[in-house]
Structure 1
Amino acid sequence: MCRQSATVCLFKSPSRQQRELTDVAARLAALPDPRERRGRRHALASVVLAAACAVLAGARSYLAIGQWARHAPQDTLARLGFRAGGSLGVRRPASSSTLRRVLMLVCPGGLADLLGHHPAGAQAVAVDSKSARGSRTDTSAAAHLLSAVTAGRTVSQLRVPDKTNEIAAFTSLLSPFDLAGTVVTADALHTQREHSKWLVEVKKAHYLLVVKGNQPTLHAAIKSLPWKEVTARRYDRQRGHGRRETRSVRTLTVTGLHLDFPHVVQAVKILRHRTDIKTGKVTRQTVYAITDMTARQASPQLIGRLARSQWGIEAVHHVRDTTFAEDASKIRTGHGPENMATLRNLAINTLRDAGYRSITTGLREVSYAPFTRPLDLLQLA
């Protein structure tokens, strides 16, 4: 079954070997075609790859994707796998309506898994959510997407079904992946007993979970710990984005203390001091967290690095908002919002793998050769 809780659609779960293939076209072979067999002119992989290349070249809408495909030369269409037809062997791309229909219908969970960055060997995977605000209509809420990110690259995402919350989607998002030895970080909404037991006992992973007021008893217990006596601490200073920031991380082993949470071993207190360089305004934030890792497994320095990786997921969401104008997108129908978000994630992953620190710069350089550079980056033969 497709990993999409809002709808039911057939999906052949990809094997581990298929997920690890570097050839994007080969990975997409695991994805079932949602179209009727009769009248089908173009392979599903070719249609999806055309959309992916168009987004890498800067397309933000169905119309722009269709225009890119319509102007693609014959050698580009050949690399995408569009068949030659007629006596002259001319290749014709998928029409704008076909591209739009496929992106509205194709299984979003499967597409996100197949086009995502595989987390095998990753030190940490961060989980957080984002709403595509432009997808809201008079009768339905905006598409709410729960994502898993590692090292600035999206692993997968799922749309949270309407009238539910993202807590129920947490295990569905991560279940296809081997997380043994990986640290999963998440915000306070996912500081749930069942999540921690599932991560440690089923996935053989570790967790670092933020604790806030939505868990009042746990929050009060951690806040009351003897933090002033803690000697295990780490200080970091950073300057950038118009501000100076100082962070102190303190960790305390709580084995034997009464913290009613499965597998918890250490509690964490993070103090963040930010100074706006221009105005001089100082802000202070205190964050508490818990982890199942021992002091030997996770020092204050490592805990601080893992916490920053959780905050780093916001950078991916910021790129989708500012560079790809995701919140302004009026794509609303079917699986369109989440599948377009997946193509944006693929573009970000691909550009980061190519060494671009600035996604805006990467898109601009790709746009100079829109019919060759995207295919080269996706390693299409």
Structure 2
Amino acid sequence: MSLITIFRDIPDPRRGNAQRHELLDILTIALVASVCGAESCVDFAEFAEDREQLLREFLSLENGLPSHDTFSRVFRLLDPQAFGRAFEAFLTDLGADGPGVLAIDGKTLRRSFDRAAGRSPLHVVTAFGADARLSIGQRAVAPGENEITAARALLATLSLGGALVSGDAIHAQAETAQLVLDRGGDYLFALKANRPAMLAAVAAYFADPPEPLASFETTDADHGRIEVRRHRVAHQVDWLFGDRAEPGAPTMPGLATLGCVEAVRGDGAPSVRYYLSSALLTPERLARAVRSHWAIENALHWVLDVGFDEDGARNRADNGPENLAILRRLTLNLLRTARPKLPVSRKRKRAGWSDDFARSIIGQMR
């Protein structure tokens, strides 16, 4: 499905005279403006004025150009779930090379708070295809929720067949693990101090394993420092079940692999991280999966903050912050999948400078 087709099917939340401008036109202008470097509703309106001739090549604009108030009102009222269905346009690309690692992580939009209304900053959970480097879903943490429940609500909407869902220790919960298994995937969760008894038991096991464990070592020399990582896995996990590991706590369903990653930078002391997985991982696959998970930080959160100034976004009212967060992720998906193969920052600059380059990007979202 193309983005234009999906935009056409989104229910219009406006009524009566407020529908002067077509919803399809408003959303398309906002997306094209975001591709070209716009970051706010005021930017969208000014972009439309400056590039009206380009926009009229593929939009009717029968009642002229929307104002910044119109953009703001639409994004405040729009149903985020309906708007979020636009991520479906990229699922085919995500599956082109196999499901791979699906990273789950949360991010706070730091300036979306509203002190006058007593509203905290928006916190969103994103599902990120680490191999394809595409966002495939987003869910805001609603009042009274936390990142754990929001992640479960997001995972419940996704088909996870064959995917390895990775997450930080906050998601190492029996209910979340069972949901991933029920949706057809496997999980890989970090094990930290929020499960102290299990962490102590696993750490003691890897400190003195009953038998030699398969291992895999990698060496990185990025950013002027050398880091050596040793990855080990254990598939004998029966001893961890029951009250012996963590009295009174539910066990992790389908647990098949315990993982240990020891990292040493230069002459410093080693750091050790532990993992729980339902997949039968080899040390090599554990190494790839652990590194792939961090793509959500480097290839999504960092790009949104630096390239799209997401932390500086000040839209605060109603559904506005969540819908504009969706728009930014859609823009990033579009730029990543669109030809030619250039860095996202260069594509945005060239689309902002050149109508011909902008047309080439727009043509790939139909």
TMscore range, shorter length:
0.7 to 0.9
Structure 1 residues 116-195: aligned runs within 5 Å: 117-118=90-91, 119-120=94-95, 121-138=98-115, 139-151=118-130, 152-195=133-176
Q: Does 1:266 align with 2:245?
A: no
Q: Does 1:204 align with 2:204?
A: no
Identity of aligned residues (%): 26
Q: Which residue of 2 aligns with 1:254?
A: 236
SS of alignment partner, residue 156 of structure 1: strand
SS of alignment partner, residue 240 of structure 2: coil
Q: Which residue of 2 aligns with 1:3?
A: none
Q: Does 1:286 align with 2:272?
A: yes
Superposed CA offset, 1:202-233 (max 9, x none): 20110101110011122122112145544311
Q: Which residue of 1 aligns with 2:244?
A: none
Q: Any conservation in 2 of the 1:77–1:93 contact (CA below 8 Å)?
A: no
Q: Which residue of 2 aligns with 1:16?
A: none
2:29 to 50, 73, 96: 50
Q: Which residue of 2 aligns with 1:17?
A: none
Amino acid at match of 1:286: V
Give the C-alpha shift of residue 235 in structure 1.
1.0
Distance in 2 (alpha carbons) for counterparts of 1:337 and 1:53: 19
SS of alignment partner, residue 198 of structure 2: helix
Superposed CA offset, 1:21-80 (max 9, x none): 1x211022332111114441222222111101111111111111110112223342341x
Structure 1 112/241 Cα, relative in aligned 2: closer, same or farther at 3 Å? farther
Superposed CA offset, 1:243-296 (max 9, x none): 332222110013422233211011000122235xxxxx84642111111112xx
Amino acid at match of 2:231: V
1:114 to 86, 92, 103: 86
Q: Any conservation in 1 of the 2:233–2:260 contact (CA below 8 Å)?
A: yes
SS of alignment partner, residue 342 of structure 1: helix
Distance in 2 (alpha carbons) for counterparts of 1:320 and 1:274: 29
Between 1:32-41 and 1:323-332, the stretch displaced more is 32-41
SS of alignment partner, residue 32 of structure 2: helix
Aligned residues: 343
Q: Any conservation in 2 of the 1:248–1:271 contact (CA below 8 Å)?
A: yes
Q: Any conservation in 1 of the 2:350–2:358 contact (CA below 8 Å)?
A: no
1:335 to 314, 319, 322: 319
Structure 1 residues 1-381: aligned runs within 5 Å: 21=1, 23-79=2-58, 81-84=59-62, 92-115=64-87, 117-118=90-91, 119-120=94-95, 121-138=98-115, 139-151=118-130, 152-200=133-181, 202-229=182-209, 230-259=212-241, 260-275=251-266, 282=268, 284-294=270-280, 298-315=281-298, 316-354=300-338, 356=341, 358-369=343-354, 371-378=355-362, 379-380=364-365
Amino acid at match of 2:141: V
Superposed CA offset, 1:106-154 (max 9, x none): 1123322313632544212100000000111222210001111013211
SS of alignment partner, residue 237 of structure 1: strand
Distance in 1 (alpha carbons) for counterparts of 2:356 and 2:78: 26
Amino acid at match of 1:34: P
Superposed CA offset, 1:329-355 (max 9, x none): 211111111221222212221222236
- The RMSD of aligned alpha carbons is 2.1
Structure 1 78/93 Cα, relative in aligned 2: closer, same or farther at 3 Å? farther
Between 1:104-113 and 1:326-335, the stretch displaced more is 104-113
Give the C-alpha shift of residue 317 in structure 1.
0.5
SS of alignment partner, residue 130 of structure 1: strand
Between 1:31-40 and 1:301-310, the stretch displaced more is 31-40
Q: Which residue of 2 aligns with 1:88?
A: none
Give the C-alpha shift of residue 356 in structure 1.
4.6
Distance in 1 (alpha carbons) for counterparts of 2:263 and 2:319: 39
Which structure shows the higher helix fraction? 2
